[in-house]
Structure 1
Amino acid sequence: MSEEPGTPEPDPSPALSPSIRAQLLATEHWSLLASRSTTQGEVLTRISMFLTFTSASLLSVALVGNATQFSDAFRAFALTILSIDVAVGLLTQIRVINVGMEDLMYVLAMNRLRAAYVELDPGIARYMMAGYHDDEAGSGQTYYFLGGRTSFSQVAGSSMMFIMTANAALLALLLGSVLTVVGMPVVVTVTTAALVAMIFFLVSLLRGKRLYDDVWKANPPISPTPPVA
């Protein structure tokens, strides 16, 4: 028997039971946890490799300096090594910033899943210390359950700030070495190197802030934190 025109067709996929929905959400949650752990481990390894490489290269510069009595050949060697250190540091910084954004992505995704858990069973909300709202306030709760931590301390203690500080110092060292080789006065060399390092640090910080702000513009929350009455 044919259906009358305009009659909506029945949905071929029946609604899933709450237990099956919970299993699907939990599977996705574990997948996000594993991916987040792998990403964090990878970036910490990258930072350790960078620090090891930088320490070894600076030690080699000192040894070559003593062996060559700081000749012209030593200057060329030192500038080459410092240039490589800066290049490796910049590549590491790019990865660290990317991982910071990826970590925020994982936090928001898991907060969104917790919101689904609360939707299935509103009674479990009071047992959750991690956030279950996929907005900035919810992510802040997940990063620090107990509250009281300021945004400044969160950023200041991050791997991103660490790598930016290390790269600013390396850049100042490289620039200072170049200016010394060309015969610039010590005052000018130190002032210029310090100024360039500060500019690099501020530009890197602003770029990180812009990437962070873009996250909230491109991903509006579907379970925002309710306003405080």
Structure 2
Amino acid sequence: MAADDEGPLEKHRPRPELATMLATEHWSLLGTRSMTWSEIMSRISILLTVMSALLVVLALFAQGEGFDRSLLPLAVCFAAASLILGSLTALRVGLASQEDAQLIRGMNRLRAAYVELAPEIEPYLTASTRDDQSGLMATYTLGSRRPMLVHIVGSTTFFVIVVNALVAGALGALVGALASTAGWVVAGSGVLAGLVWFAVQVEVSRRLFGRPMTDVRFPTRD
């Protein structure tokens, strides 16, 4: 039978190879996501290890030289180094989270293709088939209704931000101690430095994730 003489059923016959190609792409995105977060966890572990090592060195130095003001310059250097490493780590975690969101959106689109090929499987899917903000969050939370604030506070990005804010507060307090022996100066400079650094990091994260999604292909149905 000639190609032009094929009936409707013959022209639109099932193509199993499409499912194979979609599954290959799906596994590729899953592998990329796994490697990304493996890298992030390694970087966070390195950061915390370096911070712990610097504290140990500082404690050993203090045991040998005594706990006096001569220790402050070394403590300031260690705190500044920790803050630099922590800020770089926070930036990488933020970028990785942004990449992770795009990977999830890509997998949501693939699920939409699976449902198009076999509509009967849709009730059995836990993750979303939509690639807008609602679909992204539905996949992140696996369909459960979770407040956005809880999701943000429990994220890896927020954890690193809090660690960096604590280090910034310690650095501010140390600098204050170098400038003055007054307790209120030390406490005030520490609190101010921690809050300012926390606000800066939150704003950077907001700018990374606050961009509107302009390439939505499968919006959530009303």
Q: Report what 2:92 is aligned to.
A: 95
How far off is 1:123 after superposition? 1.3
Q: Report what 1:38 is aligned to.
A: 35
Q: Report what 1:116 is aligned to.
A: 113
Q: Report what 2:173 is aligned to.
A: 176
User: Percent identity between the aligned chains?
Assistant: 33
Structure 1 residues 28 and 45: alpha-carbon distance in aligned structure 2, compared to 1, 3 A threshold: same
Please give the alpha-carbon distance, in whole angstroms, between the structure 2 residues aligned to 1:177 and 1:91. Answer: 22
Task: Give CA deviations for 1:52-107 in whole Å, capped at 9, x if unaligned.
Answer: 11011112112211211135543222221111111111111111111111111111
1:81 aligns with 2:112: no
1:222 aligns with 2:217: yes
The 3-state SS of whatever aligns with 1:38 is: helix
Q: Report what 1:3 is aligned to.
A: none
Task: Give CA deviations for 1:5-59 in whole Å, capped at 9, x if unaligned.
Answer: xxxxxxxxx9996312211111100000000011111101111111111011112
Q: TM-score, normalised by structure 1?
A: 0.87
Pick one of 138, 142, 146 that aligns with 1:145: 142
- Listed as ranges, the gaps of 5+ residues in structure 2 are 1-10
Mean CA deviation greater in 160-169 or 78-87: 78-87
Aligned-partner residue type, residue 215 of structure 2: P
Please give the alpha-carbon distance, in whole angstroms, between the structure 1 residues aligned to 2:60 and 2:105. Answer: 49
Structure 1 residues 74 and 184: alpha-carbon distance in aligned structure 2, compared to 1, 3 A threshold: closer
Q: Report what 2:205 is aligned to.
A: 208
The 3-state SS of whatever aligns with 1:221 is: coil
Aligned-partner residue type, residue 27 of structure 2: W
Aligned-partner residue type, residue 83 of structure 1: A
Aligned-partner residue type, residue 57 of structure 1: L
Aligned-partner residue type, residue 90 of structure 1: S
- Listed as ranges, the gaps of 5+ residues in structure 1 are 1-13
C-alpha contact 2:172 2:192 (8 A) present in aligned 1: no
Q: Report what 2:5 is aligned to.
A: none
Aligned-partner residue type, residue 221 of structure 1: V
How far off is 1:184 after superposition? 4.9
